[in-house]
Amino acid sequence: MACEEFIYSDDNFNLMSFWSDKTQSYLEQILQDTWEEKLKKNLFRYKLNITQTKVLPGKYKFVLKLNPDRITNRRPPEDLVSINQKFDPSGFNFTKISPNEIMFKINKKISKGHDDLVIVNVSPLDNYHCMFIPSVSQCLNQVITLPSLCKAIEIMFLTKSPSFRIGFNSLCAFASVNHLHFHCYYLTNKMLLETIPVKHLAGPCYVLLDYPARGFVFQISSVQNYIQQIRSVFRLIEYFQRCQVPHNIYITRGVAVDSSTDGVNCQVLNNMRDVIRVYVWARSSSAGLKRVLYNIKPALCELFGHITVKDQSEFDSVTEEVISNMLRNLVTETFEKVYQPVINLFESQDSQNLGTA
């Protein structure tokens, strides 16, 4: 697939991000300009038209958006029954897309020419919704690898806007295509999970407790040893993969998880984002799920608090209680099952680290 190639190095990374800073990184300029060009060529299944947006009253500040076309005009998802289901070359995959959907290759200077792609999402959820496809020609199934997770974090480092987000749905967690991909998009609302306090669990792992969707939290706090920090995230993901636990992942700018929000100036807290937070939710399987409340299929966005609905009646009637109950029902049983094993996982990592110190 011939296309332009975006080349970067560690010198291009940004850790700090500010809501008050409206300047764009070079990657963001390329991404947005290219996405707009694709939009003008009518490559999308529908024109993104979010007719209304509101923050639901209540504690969690869920963001609700009315996007009727995404529900009715998106590509039908595949029938996926195992989180490690093998890649099926006869089914839809990203080697079969139109070349016009490709935005650019994205590679580190030391690995120029690799076929890591950024493509448009032809069924956009929000502004500049695109997908990162690692090693497209290898036809990897929708199971995260350590190199792909590192690349996703590097893409986040290449942006400056705290509204840029990256996410991943595993199979049986509402992934729609069994070909390795991450979602990238802009959500311009400041979200609770950028700053919410979390509790230390073990090693580098924290837990999100004071929220309907309890989950696991990590932070990437350095552009020097970020790969070591990502290995800890991958340790948990790999455990879920081995144990067939469906999971959703959300990567966002945030404040350091171990900073006391009581001691942080409110003005600073409202503006500065000094780490990348990675949320990992273990959840019940979406395989065979027939009835979905309000046609909401809870995946990475919904778990983060970004909810899309399809019609005006849903937009008017959805409440914080409805969303909270949906998220609790989705994750609570699985979270409680894996809670102690995850503690054991990272306590054993601490023991190994002490043994090699």
Confidence (pTM): 0.94
- Secondary structure (3-state) at 357: coil
Greater pLDDT, 350 or 256: 256
Residue with tokens 């975006």: 6
Positive/negative CA dihedral, 228, 232, 237, 238: positive
Quote the pLDDT of residue 295. 76
**Catalytic one among 181, 183, 247, 306?**
181
Q: How far apart are CA 245 and CA 239, in angstroms?
A: 8
What digits encode the pLDDT tens for the residues 242-271? 999 999 999 999 999 986 555 566 767 889
Q: What average pLDDT does this structure show over 207-223? A: 97
Contact indicator for 208, 147 with CB cutoff of 8 Å:
no
Residue 42 structural domain:
5-356
pLDDT at 110: 87
Strands 102-108 and 5-8: parallel
pLDDT computed for residue 81 by the predictor: 79
- Percentage of the chain with pLDDT > 90? 79
Bridge partners, 73 (sequence order): none
Supply the pLDDT for residue 77. 59
**CA distances for 237 relative to 57, 147, 257, angstroms:** 33, 13, 20
Q: Which of 54-68, 73-87, 109-123, 336-350 has the lowest mean pLDDT?
A: 73-87
pLDDT score for 263: 53
Rounded distance, CA 199 to CA 211, Å? 12
Min mean pLDDT across 169-173, 192-196, 284-288 is at 284-288
**Non-local CB neighbours of 64 within 8 Å, separated by 6+ positions:** 53, 54, 55, 56, 307, 309, 315, 318
Model pLDDT, residue 351: 57
- In angstroms, rounded to a whole number, what is the distance separating the alpha carbons of residues 12 and 70? 34
- Nearest Cα to 333, choosing from 283, 285, 292, 299? 283
- Tracing tokens 């979010």 back to the chain, one arrives at 50
Please tell me whether residue 54 adopts helix, strand or coil conformation.
strand
Task: Please give the pLDDT value at position 47.
Answer: 82
Number of compact structural domains in the chain:
1
Give residue 255's Cα distance to chain centre.
Answer: 17
Catalytic residue status for 179: no
- Please report the pLDDT score of residue 357 as a whole number: 43
pLDDT score at 3: 81
Note the pLDDT tens digit of each residue in 118-177.
Answer: 999 999 999 999 999 999 999 999 999 999 999 999 999 999 999 999 999 999 999 989
**Confidence check: pLDDT of 291 > 70:** no
Which of 250, 146, 132 is closest to 181 using CA atoms? 132
For residues 313-334, average pLDDT: 95
pLDDT band of residue 293 (cuts 50, 70, 90) is low
Q: Is the dihedral of CA 58, 63, 68, 73 positive or negative?
A: negative
Least trusted range by pLDDT, from 16-25, 206-215, 268-277? 268-277
63-105 pLDDT per residue, tens: 999 988 776 555 555 667 789 999 999 999 999 999 999 999 9
Q: Which residue has the tokens 């079969």?
A: 96
Helix (H) or strand (E) run with residue 336 in it: helix 320-356
Task: Return the CATH number at 232.
Answer: 3.30.428.70
The secondary element (H helix, E strand) that includes residue 233 is helix 226-242
- Sequence length of the chain is 357
35 has a pLDDT exceeding 90:
yes
